[in-house]
Homo-oligomer: A and B are copies of this chain.
Amino acid sequence: MKKLTKTGEEIMHIIWQLNRCTVSDIIQQLGSPKPPHSTISSIVRILEKKGFVDHKAYGRTYEYFPIISKKNYGKTSLQQLVSNYFEGSMDRLVSHIVEEEKVDVEAIKKILDEIPDEEWK
């Protein structure tokens, strides 16, 4: 799976949220100053070329929709991060989170307890 660039990722988040949207819909979500329509248009076209979105034409207007889900992209990114910065070990990542990210151990234990048995692998 190709990697999103900074701007591409920003726009993808909006597309993921709206699910099906035109370029104008995307611009509406962006804060001021609003970029020109053409700017967002070309970013979306590149996202399509890279395989992140596809479109359906309604008359002259394109409605874009994601073909790679946010969940899927996030999952892949996580795996890549772990592979690159945590020796490929999710265990190490968890250690890091507890030791460096100020996440309370008890909170995590509680999370673990809330997970139904069937998902325990």
Contact = CB atoms under 8 A, between A and B. Distances in A.
| Number of chain A interface residues as a range | 35 or more
Interface in A85-114: 85-86, 90-91, 93-105, 107-109, 111-112
User: SS class of chain A's interface: helix, strand, loop or mixed?
Assistant: helix
A56 interface: no
Interface string A35-56: 0000000000000000000000
A96 to B, nearest CB: 7
A84 B115 contact: no
Interface of A: 3, 6, 9, 13, 70-71, 73-75, 77-79, 81, 84-86, 90-91, 93-105, 107-109, 111-112, 115, 119-121
